[in-house]
Amino acid sequence: MSEEWLHNAVDTVVLFVEAAGAIVIAAGALVAFVGLVGALARRDMRRFTQVRLLLGRFLALGLEFQLASDILKTAVAPSFEEIGKLAAIAAIRTALNHFLAKEIKEERAQLAEDETKPPKPSGQP
């Protein structure tokens, strides 16, 4: 009886953690879309880069929630098949997070470099 209760409790927590991840990603996509429309309307490529960074941060956080839910799914008496699936999912999501973090770091460095450059005199490309 207690193991069944534990499974039900973990399933409920997993549902909330998965929902949190989906909400974070959806919110990030919405915020980024609004920012993108504004950047395109102003033809502001610097703002476009900032929007990409913002979306990347939301995606990375959402992926962390999704990975947490996957780990929770296998927390109670996992089978070897479930462990194998978790390993594959964790590897894929970890790789995605790694490359997202790398891209965010590179974009931040580019923004910082752009901020330190002196403005171009008018009339020059």
pLDDT of residue 32: 95
- CA dihedral (11, 15, 16, 18) positive or negative: positive
* pLDDT tens-digit map of 99-109: 888 888 888 88
User: What is the pLDDT, as a whole number, of residue 9?
Assistant: 87
- 55 versus 115: the higher-pLDDT residue is 55
13: Cβ–Cβ under 8 A, 6 or more apart, which residues? 72
- pLDDT at 120 (0 to 100): 58
- Are residues 18 and 66 in contact, defined by beta-carbon separation less than 8 angstroms? yes
With a cut of 80, say whether residue 50 has pLDDT above it: yes
pLDDT of 22 reads 96
Q: What pLDDT was estimated at residue 76?
A: 75
